[in-house]
Structure 1
Amino acid sequence: MEFRHLVYFVTIVEQSTYTRAATVLHVSQPSLSAAIKKLENEVGLTLIKRNTRSLEVTSEGKILYQEAKKLLNHYQHVSKEMIRLKEQGPLELTIGLIESSNFWVPKILKQFQKEYQDAHIKLLEILSLTDVEKALTNFDIHLAITNQNLNNDAIETLPIYEEKLVAVLPQGHNLQDYTELTIYDLKDETFIICKEGFQTREDILYAFAKSGIQPMIQFEIERFETACRLVIEGLGITVVPENYVKNTVHSDYHIKHINDSHLSRSVYLAYEKNRYLPPIVLKFIGLVEEFFKQ
């Protein structure tokens, strides 16, 4: 299977026509058609159905496209990485983060910087399942710190810690003097919760369902910061990771523990299995593992 033929095939699928693909690739249409025919003969499968009006990728072709795209992404990344290593050395690290990781990531980075003083580090907030998977498989980030339950064979996920979820109540709330709450205490409250596609939402709804309660959801948000601002304005209550709020001093809301073993979430370190990870990335992963072992 020639690498060039895979490039041609991926381009045809993405451009939807042989004409546009030939233009992008700077080859003639007959050469392009011959290359795809040779690829089909080699794999023994029909990859593209052709007629006078349109181009249709077969189910086998879609599988090859997905795998070929990963291969091309990996090839391009390694090529760029080798050029960059030759010119600059291993000085870049890009990490996708969840909001609650800000209580420990700076501590790791402080230690990390002792060895890589000149490293250029990008910290990107990447929250939803779709965005985390896309960022990893497209090589937009080297690794992710995420609470998403990634069911993807191409991604390695290392569980690093569990964190409790706590209730955030506005000032003057009738439950503000309680030492600890139960889920039943929250059953009639106006609820502020993450939108669909966020693992924290699933964790909260699972805990409520186990107690036989349907929360009264009125607001759906993406960021815990937004949820807390809505709480401050008296628009409802929310449930967020304890690590997001435990180190803050805020007189406009109350933080309450909830007595329920299901109200917690796992946090993972995730990275692409089949990607070259430079020493700078492996060093960061090692520091994270060491930090949480302690």
Structure 2
Amino acid sequence: MDIRHLHYFITLAEQTTFTQAAFVLHISQPSLSATIKKLENELGLILLDRSSREIRLTREGEILYHEAKKLVDHFGYVWEEMRRVKEQGPPELSVGLIESTKHWIPKILSRFKMEYKDVRIKLMDVLSLEDVEKALSNFEIHLAITNQYTDSEEIEMIPIYEEKLIALLPEDHLLKDHAYLTVRDLEGEALIICKEGFQTRTDTLNTFRTAEIRPNIQFEIERFEMACRLVEEGLGITVLPENYVKYSIKPNFLMKPIEDSNLSRTVYLAFDKNRYLPPLVLDFISLVKEFFDHRARPLT
């Protein structure tokens, strides 16, 4: 059963003559007549009472008219909704995030919501490289804000800012009076570090390796929040992004820059370059880029 044929039948029922219905549909009368006859043959039912000049529906025709009307109207709604989605984007924005975005992403969302008041926003944790690639490939998110770099041909990576990694120490640590630390100062310390697959882990271990220091890994964690709590309990030290810890509310740990290293990380916007991105997603990307372009310095 062709939706176009149902549309022809509904028009005929509402116009009551083949001549008028054909005029409204911009087709010839013989073509309309042939279409209706084909529909009747497909259904094995007589839909029209042709005994009078004006078309009247049979009982079966009445049933088809009411059900077809609902179906065609819904089809029109779905079609219009898809057109709107293509032009304006879906009423939802899904963004994958790393933990350190929590201090600036609300500012972006506040600006975004001024223009897209009715858009529902989903924020998901995508911490490891595997998380990022999986969420993008499965269409779970429109884009990710991540420090995980990938050279995948399918994923576009746009750098938005760079930040230093700093050391976190318990408040009563022997190095508490040092204004800054060296990598050598961390030798032998119980190290709290991200698990395999996290860029922060890779950067930290590369720094130890360059200094020819064997790290004393005691805890492997997934979330920075847990690393901070372990440091507060005096269970070791950790190395985390400066922008994650500098805004912590009354932290019970010490933050120390590491002066003799290039410990830093780049944060990226990542999205599937082969996927259609609706306007609202592109507008969100522009807001993020604009936010950091205006700073011309690391996030503060």
Runs ≥4 in structure 1, deviation > 6 angstroms? none
Identity of aligned residues (%): 63
2:275 partner SS: coil
Task: Give the drift of 1:175.
Answer: 0.7
> What is the one-letter code of the residue matched to 1:149?
Y
Aligned residues: 214
Hey, what does 2:232 align to over in structure 1?
232
Give per-residue Cα distances to partners, 1:225-256, cap 9 Å, x unaligned: 00111111111000100000111233521111
CA distance in 2, matches of 1:174, 1:250: 21
Hey, what does 1:184 align to over in structure 2?
184
> What is the one-letter code of the residue matched to 1:117?
K
CA distance in 1, matches of 2:292, 2:111: 14
CA distance in 1, matches of 2:214, 2:284: 41
TM-score, normalised to structure 1's length? 0.70
TM-score, normalised to structure 2's length? 0.68
Equivalent positions of 1:5-154 (< 5 A) are 82=82, 85=85, 90-154=90-154
1:117 partner SS: coil
CA distance in 2, matches of 1:260, 1:145: 28
Task: Give the drift of 1:125.
Answer: 0.8
Contact 1:90/1:279 (<8 A) preserved = no
Give per-residue Cα distances to partners, 1:187-238, cap 9 Å, x unaligned: 1100000000111100111111111112100100000000111111111000
CA distance in 1, matches of 2:100, 2:245: 8
CA distance in 2, matches of 1:90, 1:102: 24
- 226-235 vs 248-257, greater mean Cα deviation: 248-257
* Gap runs ≥5 in structure 2: 1-78, 295-300
Hey, what does 1:12 align to over in structure 2?
none
> What is the one-letter code of the residue matched to 1:125?
D
CA distance in 1, matches of 2:177, 2:253: 12
Aligned-pair RMSD on alpha carbons? 1.8
Contact 1:190/1:235 (<8 A) preserved = yes
Task: Give the drift of 1:260.
Answer: 3.2
Which has the larger Rg?
2
> What is the one-letter code of the residue matched to 1:131?
D
Instruction: Note closer, same or farther for the CA distance 1:112–1:189 as it changes in structure 2 (3 Å cut).
Output: same
CA distance in 1, matches of 2:106, 2:260: 30
Task: Give the drift of 1:89.
Answer: 6.1
* Gap runs ≥5 in structure 1: 1-78
